[in-house]
A and B are shown apart, each in its own frame.
Chain A
Amino acid sequence: MFEVSDIVATYGKIEALKGVSLKVESGKITCLLGPNGAGKTTLMMTIAGILQPRRGAIRLDGMDLAGLSPARIVSRGVALVPENRLVFPQMSVRENLLAGAYQRRDRAGIDSDIDRMYARFPRLKERREQMAGTLSGGEQQMLAVARALMSRPRLLLMDEPSLGLAPLIVAEIFEIIAELNRDGTTIFLVEQNAHMALKVAHQFFLMEQGRITFSGTPGQLAEDEVIQRAYLGSRRAAG
């Protein structure tokens, strides 16, 4: 189980996370919804170790991750697919995947995992020697997911995987998310597209202004209300 308790993080002088606590059940898809600027990306970057929390604990199966370097966190089994994908544009698809396995030393295992990624994402196989910067947005998103999977994470974090993609591609990405989960990966997902997210999620949290304001299962709250609060925040939605 993955658990975040009472995380406080500042971004410059702004307190972006004001004591966030949440739990992600193993083997499930958990989704974090909320309006822009609620602190969702800050939370993801803090979990991944890019930003350091001021206070609070981050635990994966009892191991404390807070304060570790990003590389350490990857080797402990947490991988983040960042917002806007962030592939290595001037490296080939294959090299991007190799970089994702940087913490691993098992040459044979890495090679067979690359083959598995090619099987799961046939388009990456077609383009394996192509520079990642020349791929389409959807292909880059798949590469970013595959790169994260190359570290064999126990917990896969995804920040806005549907951002800027065509609806057809978004549907494909969510299918992949569901598929990965069926194969046993725990997924914690930040999403603006509440409609799609609620379809795949087993559990969700609402975040507004740096705080968790609701947690439950899809269906516990009317979808309209979730969407309204996820896009606009509750204060404006109420008024």
Chain B
Amino acid sequence: MVDLVQNTIDGLMIGSSYGLLALGFTLIFGVMRRLNLSYGPSVMVGAYLGTLVYVQLAAGPLVVLVVTVLGSVLAGLYVERLCFAPMAAGAGVASMVSSFAIWMQLEQAAVLVLPRHTYPFPPLATADPLAFGPFYLRVDGLIMLACALALSAGVQLLLYRSRVGLALRATINNPVAAHLAGIDVRTAVVFAFALASAVGGIAGYLVLATDQQVTPMFGMWATFKGLIAMMIGGLGSIPGAILGGLVLGVVEANSQWYFGPQVRDLLAYVLLFACLVLRPGGLLGEAPSRQQDTGRRGA
């Protein structure tokens, strides 16, 4: 029982970073209705730039954070420009395949800049875990959880209380109608990519600072965790993204404890497949019928 609770606590903390990755994913998916496989790798490019200034210039944590976020945003916009902006309506699969190709490109670029397999990343917090009876709370985990909640609330506010948020939601609802209402859809899309990459960059920073190291596998890892959490939580829903991340984190932490790391990953995919098939809209998603028009059509 103690184990279960402790695992759940740990799971919630790591799950909050999954939730942030899912939040970025859901923003991009919302406006494009397309899958961006390069989402994780573009966050990785940011993280590698952050590592570079840390290793080469001994930059402080704040500078590393800023560089990571800016790098992620630039890489995200690069992906948008190449894989999404030029693709005609209905060429969703072409975008996906292109974003996969760019994934390989970004990964290679990162490895060219920093060729060793692992590099150190500045720690988030070095304080000892806080003890509550038999349970321990890691300080960096708490920071991660707090950041996730604050950021998702911030994004929610931005979407529902600002002019640019209105433009984004209108574009998500119906791009043609958004054009007709006088909204600059192109700007809205670029903004969505930038915002998503910034959120992803912060998530990436938090995860890597907790692990205190970065490897070239991070891009793929981030894409998958974000994708799974988004799908479990439900497309197009910000609370859903965070909830999906937390659920995934808790399931992973417990299955790792009881069955080991391989079964943990297996279970995550089985959970995802079951979620998709049994409840295609996700836990808090919109009605599934609206995602169903994203099929091939002219691929």
> Taking each of A48, A90, A95, which has the highest tally of chain B beta carbons within 10 Å of its own beta carbon?
A90
Residue contact A90 to B173, C-beta cutoff 8 Å = yes
With A86-B176, A88-B174 already in contact, the answer to whether A95 and B182 are too (CB < 8 A) is: no
Q: Is the CB of B174 within 8 A of A86?
A: yes
Q: Interface with B: A16-24, A67-75, A161-169, A228-236, which one?
A: A67-75
User: What 0/1 pattern do residues 131 to 173 of B give for CB contact below 8 A with A?
Assistant: 0000000000000000000000000000000010011011011
**Cβ contact within 8 Å between B174 and A98:** no
B181 close to chain A: CB less than 8 A: yes
From B180, B182, B286, give the contact of A75 (CB < 8 A).
B182
B181–A100 touching, CB < 8 Å: yes
Chain B residues bordering chain A, tally (CB within 8 A): 19
Cβ of A109 within 8 Å of any chain B Cβ, yes or no, is no
Closest to A81 in B: B180
Say yes or no: is B93 at the interface (Cβ < 8 Å to chain A).
no
A162 to B173, CA, bound (A): 23
Q: Report the Cα distance A2→B286, complex, angstroms.
A: 42
Q: Name which residue of chain B comes closest to A90, CB basis.
A: B173
Question: Is B177's beta carbon under 8 Å from chain A?
Answer: yes
Contact B181 A99 (CB under 8 A): yes
Interface residues of B: mostly helix, strand, loop or mixed? helix
How far apart are the CA atoms of A71 and B174 in the complex, in Å?
A: 15
Known A80-B180, A151-B182: A89·B166 in contact at CB below 8 Å:
no
Task: Please determine whether B184 and A71 come into contact, CB atoms closer than 8 angstroms.
Answer: yes
State whether B182 touches A91 (Cβ < 8 A). no
Please tell me if the beta carbons of B183 and A50 are within 8 angstroms of each other in the complex.
Answer: no
B177 adjacent to A88 (CB under 8 Å): yes
Q: How far is the CA of A82 from the CA of B179 in the complex (A)?
A: 11
Across the interface, name the chain A residue whose C-beta is closest to B169.
A91
Complex contact A95–B166 (CB within 8 A): yes
Query: B178: CB under 8 A from chain A?
Result: yes
Q: Contact check, B178 vs A99: say whether CB atoms are below 8 A apart.
A: yes
Assuming the A-B contacts A90-B286, A99-B166, A102-B166, are A79 and B173 also in contact, with contact meaning beta carbons closer than 8 angstroms in the complex?
A: no
Q: Does A103 contact B (CB under 8 A)?
A: yes
Contacts of A79 on B, CB cut-off 8 Å?
180, 182
- CA–CA, A49 to B286, complex, Å? 30
B182 and A71: CB pair below 8 A?
yes
Binary CB contact string for chain A from 100 to 116 against chain B (1 if under 8 A, 0 otherwise)? 10110000000000000
Interface residues on A, range: 20 to 34
A189 and B182 CA atoms in complex are apart in Å by 20
Give the residues in chain B near A74, CB-CB below 8 Å.
Answer: 180-182
A89 contacts B173, CB within 8 Å? yes
Given contacts A98-B166, A99-B166, A102-B167, contact A91 B173 (CB under 8 A): yes
Q: Does A28 contact B (CB under 8 A)?
A: no
A74, A88, A95, A98, most chain B CB atoms within 10 A: A88
How far apart sit A70 and B167, CA to CA, in the bound complex (Å)?
14
Question: Nearest Cβ in chain B — how far from A79, in angstroms?
Answer: 7
B242 to chain A, nearest CB (A): 19
- The A-contacting residues of B in range 191-217, CB under 8 angstroms, are none
Q: Does A227 contact B (CB under 8 A)?
A: no
Q: State the CA gap A82–B173 with chains docked (Å).
A: 15
- Specify the chain B residue showing the minimal Cβ separation from A76: B182
User: In the complex, A103→B187 CA distance in Å?
Assistant: 14
Q: Report the minimum CB–CB distance from B162 to chain A (whole Å).
A: 11
When chains A and B are docked, how far (Å) is the Cα of A184 from the Cα of B286?
Answer: 41
Residues of chain A in range 132-191 having any CB-CB distance to chain B below 8 Å: 147-148, 151
A82–B177 touching, CB < 8 Å: yes
Task: Using A87-B177, A89-B174 as known contacts, say yes or no to A71 and B183 having CB atoms under 8 A apart.
Answer: yes
CA distance A82 to B178 in the complex (A): 11
Residues of A contacting B286 in the complex (Cβ-Cβ under 8 angstroms): 90
**How far apart are the CA atoms of A87 and B173 in the complex, in Å?**
9
Q: A70 CA to B186 CA in the complex, in Å? A: 11
A102-B163 Cα distance, complex, nearest whole Å: 8
Given A82-B176, A86-B177, A91 contacting B183 (CB threshold 8 A) = no
Closest beta carbon of chain A to B52's beta carbon, Å: 39
C-alpha spacing A69/B178, complex, angstroms: 12
A49 CB contact (under 8 Å) in B167, B179, B183:
B179
Distance in Å: Cβ of B26 to nearest Cβ of chain A:
14
Q: Known contacts A90-B286, A91-B169, A102-B166: does B177 contact A71 (CB below 8 Å)? A: no
The docked-state distance in angstroms from the alpha carbon of A106 to that of B258 is 61
Which chain A residues border B166 with CB–CB below 8 Å?
A: 95, 98-99, 102
Q: Smallest CB–CB gap between B287 and chain A, Å?
A: 10
Can you show 12 pairs from A to B with CB atoms below 8 A apart? A48-B179, A49-B179, A50-B179, A70-B179, A74-B181, A79-B182, A82-B176, A82-B180, A86-B176, A87-B174, A99-B170, A102-B182
Sample of 10 more A-B contacts, CB < 8 Å, known A71-B182, A102-B181, A147-B181: A48-B179, A71-B183, A74-B180, A79-B180, A86-B180, A87-B174, A87-B177, A99-B166, A100-B181, A102-B167
Q: Which 3 A-B pairs have the closest CB atoms?
A: A74-B182, A88-B173, A70-B179
